[in-house]
Structure formats: structure tokens, C-alpha cells
Structure 1
Amino acid sequence: MANKTYNDAINALNSLQSNYANIMAVRESGVRKNEMAILEMVEWTRRIGYTTADFNKLNIVHITGTKGKGSTAAFTNSILDQYKDKLHNIGLYTSPHLRSVRERIRINGQPLSEEKFTKYFYDIWNKLDNTTSPVEKFPHMTPGAKPGYFKFLTLLSFHTFLQEGCRSCVYEVGIGGEYDSTNIIEKPVACGVALLGIDHTFMLGETIDEIAWNKGGIFKPHSPAYTIEDQPVQGMKVLEERASERDTTVAKVPTFNQLNNVKLGIAGDFQKTNASLAVALASEALFSMGLIQSRVNLDADAQLPTTFIEGLERTNWEGRCQTIKRGNNFWYLDGAHTKDSIEAASGWFSDVVEDSPRKKVLLFNQQSRDAKALIHYAVNKISPKVKFDHVIFTTNVTWGSGSYSADLISMNTCKEDVEALKVQKDLAEEWKNIDPKSEISITPSIESANELIEGLQDGPLDIYVCGSLHLVGGLLVVFDGK
């Protein structure tokens, strides 16, 4: 262990990613996750020296949804952080990351240090090397075998938060809920469901009913659940059925009117809904731990505690409706990559820059989803208020040399398509039909896209960056120059 470095840990972690061919084979097979995924997580937990009951002491808030679950988790964490003097350490587990994988595991809002990440990583890695599973029950979990990338990080998060003495933790579901690796949590203090929509259909189902069923899978007996008021009707019906099955309740949270006069730490009017859900979740968590005397009243006109408002104002969540000024240029970043999220982000962008005299640039990347559809969702929300003078389609490769930042290596995209710029060329042809007056460029890397934009002689620019968290994260790394 003494000789192991952070880079060693990242290289080992990256080896656990599923490659593109395997992912496509699973999709084409039509096989979706099943309860075996949870049984395996319970077994991996045993092999690293814990039982799932050990995690109950973390007083976990468990959050799922299609759009807004990450922002809701960030808001909830920030509210809890206002009670840090009593909670000591507060854990936050989210995904994906932007710059560094350490962002997924945070203590008191800060990514785990490289030293602690490396230490705790090899605690888990070595325990898995030195333990075995019953062959008749888990034939593929042989000595030395490891769980996949996300499962390993989930195990690492539990280990880290217990070792760091966290008294409360916020967990964002990876995908879905019922069979997600975070769903070994037995007794969350509260569960939350952000806006439901259609996404990850190959794993969760094609309809809102199926997706809501999966998301409602995080509900646990006697653990209060909360969701937003404006869920799709059928989705809400399924959530209520799931709550009844699990011997709990799911309450609708209004968008609190008081937030109309609050500058939230994450921009965008739609964030008021996520912030309201976070208020209910944090309130339930703090009440369950005896740190507040009563829960916040779920009435739109309720007066929220000052500490809650401060938490919402102090929330910092990069890559979500984020504005960065560099020189004379204004960059508007959002990793939106679903229909609902890209419409929301595009609405935010068009509202902010509608009266700006600066020329407009779109920087877009999406390698694995329906990129053409996402482009149309964005344009339909932005046009006719805003027109782009220059449109750039790039890959998710970080550097002009063709290399990725180590923390941003992704094996779940088609390497050949990336190298051939296939998606980018298709998008360029599509854009000619959308707005033939725009100047269109294609770049092989995020660094080269940034250099192109910085070299434009059009005066000050408003640059909208969207379509992928990989793009936004890679751009931030390029900005950092690391």
C-alpha cells in the first residue's frame, strides 16, 4: 500500500469499467437488471467487512429521479451542512463526476483528498483480493474478482463515510432505484424522487409507469418519502402504489413561494422545485435525528428556517446552469443530456442572454444518446429568442494530443466512432437543416474546441456548452490547464 499512488488507484478503478462492446451486447440482449444485482452488492459488502445494517448509522437521505436528483442532493447536503457543528461530518455520494472521480465522494461538501481516496480505495481492493464467495451462489465472484466501476465506488463511499465518522449522508441513485447498487440501504431517514421522465430505457423500461416503478424501488418501510408536486400523473400513481407496497408514505412537496425571493446557489428558475424537495428531505433527516423540533410545513406559503435558506443560497454545484467569465467571453455550462434537462438548461440560457449584444456560440457533445434529438430539444427552447452565429461539435476527448484526463477516461463509447468524428459529422449535417446561416465547425477534442473559440475574432461571446457532463467536465479541466 505504501507504494500505491492516486494514479495507481485511478488506473485500477478504470479497469472496472464496462467497455462499449459489452454494454451494447447487454442492450441488444434485452436483459435488464434484476434482484441478483442487489444480492451481489450485499455479498460484496460482506467481503469488505460490513453488513448492510452497518450503514443505518449514517442516517442516509436517498434520492432518485430522472432530472434534478443531483441538484436536489447538493441542496440537501448544503442544508445539512448548516448543522455541521452537531453533525460533525456529512457525506455526499453523487455521480457522475466532472473533473475528478473524488468529487463523487465528499465530506462536508469537499471532494475526498487524493491521499484518503487512495487509502480507502486500497482498503477495499485488498479486502476483495483476500476474500471469497460461495461458488454455488456466486459462481462469477471468484477470488480476486471485483465489482464494476459504479458498484466499487458505492462500496468505497460506505467505507469512507463510516471511517470518517459521518453522522448523516446524502446518496444519489446511479440509475433507477430498485436494482441500483445504492439500494442496499436498509433504513434511510428519508427518500426523495425528483422529476420523472424517459431515460435509460434499455435498463428501466420504455414507459413512465416502468420508470416510476424502478425509481420507487428505493422506498423502505417506515422511511418517509417525498416527491415534487408536478410529477406526471401516471408516474405519481405508481409512486403511491410503491409506497403502499413498502409500508410507507410519499408526500408531495410544493414549490415554496419564499424561494421566489431567494438567490439559489444553483441558477435556473426550475431549481426552485429541486430546492423545495431538498427542504423537505433535510427537514425529515434533521427531525429524525432530533436536531430540529418540528418538520417544515409542506405548504407553499410556509416560512422556511433561516438556516435552510442559507444552505440553499450557499449550494455550489458545478456544471449545472453555471456561468464563467473568461476574458471578455461568458461561458454558460450545463451537462444536460436528457430531453427534460436540456430543455430546462436551454430555457435558462436563452433567458439570461436574450438581451446580450454579444455573438452566440454553441459547443455541443453527446456520444452515446440520441444527439440529434437533443439538439432539436435545445433549439426549440432557445429559438427564436437566440440565434447562434457559430456552432461547434466536438468529441469527449480532453486534450488535443488525443488523450483523456485520467479521471475522465470512458470506455463506454465507441472508440472508432470518436476517432472518425462520426457523431460530430452527422450533427453538422443536421445543423445545416436547422440553421444554414450558422458557421459550423468540428473539432477532435475539447481543448481544440476551446482554442477555436478563444481565437474567434467576433468580439465578446456568449458560449453555451451542453449535451454531456463529460464535455462540461473536460472543459473545466482544460480551463484548469491540468
Structure 2
Amino acid sequence: MTRPSDFAVSDDPRVQAQLDRLGALSVPQGRIGLDTVRALLDRLGNPQRDLPPVFHVAGTNGKGSTCAFLRAALEAAGKTVHVFTSPHLVRFNERIRVAGELVSDAMLADLLAEVLDAAETAGIGASFFEVSTAAAFLAFTRAPADACVIEVGLGGRFDATNVIETPTACGIASLGIDHEAFLLAPDEGVPADPLARIAFEKAGIAKPGVPLVTLDYTPAMNATIAGRAKLAGAPHIMRTRDWSVNHAPEGFVYRDAKGALTLPAPAMPGVHQITNAGLAIAMLRHQNAVPVPTTALAEAMHRAHWPARLQRLQPGPLTELLPPDTPCWLDGGHNLDAGQALARHFDRIDARIHLVIGMLSNKNPAALLEPLRERLASVTVVPVPGHACHEPSAFSAIPVIPQPTFARDVVEALRALNVATARREIVLIAGSLYLAGVVLRENGEIPD
């Protein structure tokens, strides 16, 4: 089943009816703030005030992986966990995990109908994400759990999830320039430096008395976050000063004031995953509401997974189009920070890359090409189905060799590749989480 929708499709007609209503929503031009989502939640009985202990995670890149490590550690400790993340890759259900399981179609249809009806009856012009957030919070009050892991959708200060008043711990993952139209919009009393402004928006999740656990950024970004934390009355727990992670044989070492832990390397590929794992561990070790033993932290390194983030595709209809045993990787990264993380990973395995790339038109086409330029064996541009995306000319203007070619879709792109497996050449499909969702669906790897 395919639709040109920008949002979601379902094989369940009851779910699809609500997704059609959800997809018709829009945000009035210029509207910003939390008043609308608060009004909606008030109509629903304020479910955000009746959640289990909440771990709230913001960031430009890595926040989804950090949430995956948090969930894995909590579950390894025998806890039942609700999770809200975005976006979905194949099915909307991926956004809402109730007590460890993806929300069922029956429950999802009822939740969306209840929230959409409430918004329409009250004349509340809620957005797609505000309705989705409210539906998740409702779901989480209707099944028991020991903890919630909630990912910020966009920014932090004005993100719909920021209505959570008393989280157990807050975290900020890697930061970089993204969503400039929203996060760098002119505003009074905000930093002029773009990266410091991004830090300002993300640190808007800080709450009184709640540890705000962060990485170590530039001096200006660190100062901005420290200022926001102080204003909120939140203890600021920063990497290198208050906790650290360092590579070690067969794994890594985490250190903080409580001592050192030697842990196995994360199963998720990419050297950056040690940083994301460290952030999750620091959040868990700087809160007291949900105890997690060291054994669970170690087990989480094996358990945690996060689709379309340096994911090695399994044998399927798409990978079978390549020469036998050709490694085919999938990543939804679309900004410079993600491009640099990809470059570090493929530098370590010394591979030449056949890049199949599709990017939304509001993203920087050089974000992936420039960090990967030294490893590119070929570049093939494909459209992102159902979305406004860059034409090949946007990539051709970037000084990389070889010059990009164009294919009508991923199938055509993979069929046309001339991969020399004897020379350690691999395939990387990247540039958009929406494209990643298409790839997973067509290769038969539906996230669960």
C-alpha cells in the first residue's frame, strides 16, 4: 500500500482513517510555544502528569540511539518501559512503545481518534506532532510501567514533549546545525552564534532539581547550556568534567564520581555509539528513581539496537540486487554531524563507498558528500518518495569525484552499481530517514 502522504500509512483501515485525519493537520504560520499542546492535554485530563519516571532526551544526532541504550538498560534491569520516539520509519506504531511492545493497531486507532476528536471539539488547532505526543502520553497512563523514555521531536524549548514537568533525568546528545528555519528563527534574548543558539534551544528541557546530563561541546555552547541549567535550577552533569567514556580493549571504560566501569563495546556499529551509550549511562547513574545495576548496563550494550542508524542490511529483495556478499549499509543521517560520524566509521574499516543518496530539499546536500569525499567510489542520487527533495544538480555543484549520476529509485540505483567486492567496496544508502523507511520496507526489514 503506497500513498504520497508525508506522514504514515497502515494496512489497518481503522488506523488509516485516523492517520488521514492526522496527516491533514498543519501548523498555523508563525505559531510557536506550548500553549496549544497544553490546552489539548488539559482536555484529555493532563496525562503527562501521571507518567512513570521519565528520561527525557534532546539532541541533533544520537538522541534516538541514547533512548535505545536507556530502554535496553532499564529492561535488562527487569523494568517495564514505555518509549516515545520520532520519526517512524515504516509504521506509525514505531513511535509509541507501550510496556515494551509497539502500540497495537487497535489501541493506536482508538488513541488517535480520542485525541483528534478532543482537539476538533474544542477547536484546538493542534499539529501532527502535538497530537502524536498527546496520544503517546495517554497510552502511557493506561498500562503500568516502571519508566518512560521520551525523545524530543525538534529542538527542546518549544517541543511538545517539553510539557513534562518533573522528569527523572534529562540528557542532551550530539549537537549541530539542523532545522535552521525553526531553531535559528529570529527571537529576542537568544544567542547570536548559531551553535550556541542550538544549545540554547536544546537546553530548554532543563527542569528544577533534575540532572541535565550533556556532552562536552564548544566553550560557547557549554556556557549557554550551563546558563540555562543554572536559570532552571538543574544540576549540569557534563562529559569530561563530571563523567567520561574512553575506548578500551574489547570495549570502553565509563567513569564518574561513583567510580569506573569497564563495559563491552556496543553492538550498534559506529564509534560514536560509545558516546551515546555513555550519555545514557550517565543519565541512569545521576538519578535515584529507578535503580539499574552495573550488570544491566553491560547487558544493554548487546541488547540496544536502533534501525536505520548505520544498519547493515540483511539478505532481502534489495540487497539481492548486489553482487554476493556485498556489504550494504543504511543510515538516515542528513546533516554534517551525521556525515562526520559516517566518515569516522568507514575510515576505520577502510572501505570505498558506493553512495546512494536522497535528501529533502531543506537539507544541505554537501553534509554527507564532503565528509565522505575521500572514500567515494560512486554517487547515485535518488528521489525521496512523497517528499520535496534535491535534484541531481544540487549534488553536482559539490566538488566531488566521481560526479553524481541519477536513478529513478533505489532499485534502479543498486542494479546499476559496479561494485568491486575484491577491493573492499561497500554500498551506503543515506541522506533521509524517509528514504530509509522505504528501503527497510522494500527489503522486508520492518522495525519491531
Tell me what 1:391 maps to: 379
1:373 counterpart (363, 366, 375): 366
Match of 2:276 in 1: 274
Asked if 1:119 corresponds to 2:110, the answer is yes
Equivalent residue in structure 1 for 2:76, among 63, 76, 82: 82
Amino acid in structure 1 at the alignment position of 2:428: Y
Following superposition, the deviation at residue 332 of structure 1 comes to 1.0
TM-score (norm 2): 0.82
> Any idea what the Cα deviations from partners look like across 1:59-96, whole Å, max 9, x if unmatched?
11111112211111111111111123xx3x31111111
What secondary structure does 1:366 align onto?
Answer: coil
1:373: Cα distance to partner?
2.0
Please give the secondary structure, in 2, of the residue aligned with 1:434. coil
2:348 to 338, 348, 351: 351
Answering whether residue 72 of structure 2 is matched by residue 105 of structure 1, we say: no
In 1, distance between residues paired with 2:156 and 2:327?
A: 37
What letter is aligned with 1:81? E
Give the superposition deviation at 1:125. 2.2
Distance 1:171 1:113 in 2: 19
* Cα pair 1:94 1:105 within 8 Å, conserved: yes
Match of 1:424 in 2: 391
Residues of 2 paired with 1:394 and 1:214: CA distance? Answer: 33
Alpha carbons of structure 1 residues 342 and 186: separation in structure 2 relative to 1, 3 Å: same
2:272 alignment partner AA: F
- 8 A Cα contact 1:174 1:182, kept in partner: yes
Alignment match of 2:178 (pick from 168, 176, 199): 199
Letter of the 1:98 counterpart: L
Matching of residues 403-422 of structure 1 within 5 Å: 413-414=387-388
The equivalent residue for 1:172 is 151
Q: CA deviation at 1:166?
A: 2.5
What is the identity, as a one-letter code, of the residue corresponding to 1:11?
D
Structure 1 distance, partners of 2:88, 2:331, is 13
Q: Does the 8 Å contact 1:372/1:430 carry over to 2?
A: no
Partner of 2:37: 41
Structure with the larger helix share: 1
2:294 to 297, 301, 305: 305
Aligned partners of 2:357 and 2:87: how far apart in 1?
Answer: 18
| Structure-2 residue corresponding to 1:299 | none
Q: Is the 8 A contact 2:267 2:301 kept in 1?
A: yes
- Amino acid of the residue matched to residue 224 of structure 1? P
Mapped contact 1:62–1:190 kept (Cα < 8 A): yes
**What does residue 339 of structure 1 align with?**
336
In the alignment, residue 373 of structure 1 is paired with which amino acid? A
Report the equivalent of 1:128. 119
Identity of aligned residues (%): 25
Q: 1:453 aligns with which of 399, 414, 426?
A: 414
User: 1 CA distance for matches of 2:247 and 2:419?
Assistant: 42
Are the equivalent residues in 1 in contact too, given 2:99–2:144 (CA < 8 A)? no
Give the aligned partner of residue 6 of structure 1: 15
Contact 1:81 1:108 in 2 (8 A): no
Residues 331, 429 of structure 2: 8 Å contact kept: yes
What does residue range 136-155 of structure 1 map to in structure 2 within 5 Å? 142=123, 145-155=124-134
How much is the aligned-residue C-alpha RMSD, in angstroms? 2.5
State the distance in 2 between where 1:235 and 1:457 align.
44
Give SS of 1:363's match: strand
Q: 1:473 to 1:346 in 2, by over 3 A?
A: farther
Equivalent residue pairs, number: 400
Q: CA deviation at 1:257?
A: 5.0
Q: How far has the Cα of 1:279 moved from its partner? A: 0.6
Name the CA distance, whole Å, in 1 between partners of 2:363 and 2:112: 35
Check the 8 A contact 1:256/1:276 in 2, yes or no: no
Moved more, 178-187 or 207-216: 207-216
Report the Cα distance in structure 1 between the residues aligned to 2:427 and 2:313, rounded to whole angstroms. 10
**Structure 2 portions without partners, runs of 5+:** 1-11, 185-192, 253-262
Structure 1, unpaired ranges of 5+: 133-141, 293-303, 398-403, 405-412
Distance 1:176 1:474, change over 3 A: same
Q: Given the alignment of the two structures, is residue 244 of structure 1 paired with residue 230 of structure 2, yes or no?
A: yes
Q: Tell me how far apart the structure 1 counterparts of residues 246 and 143 of structure 2 sit (CA, whole Å).
A: 34
Q: Assess, with a 3 A threshold, how the Cα gap between structure 1 residues 373 and 387 changes in structure 2: closer, same or farther.
A: closer
Quote the Cα distance in structure 2 between the aligned partners of 1:234 and 1:467.
29
For 2:371 and 2:362, locate their aligned partners in 1 and report how far apart those are by CA, in whole Å. Answer: 14
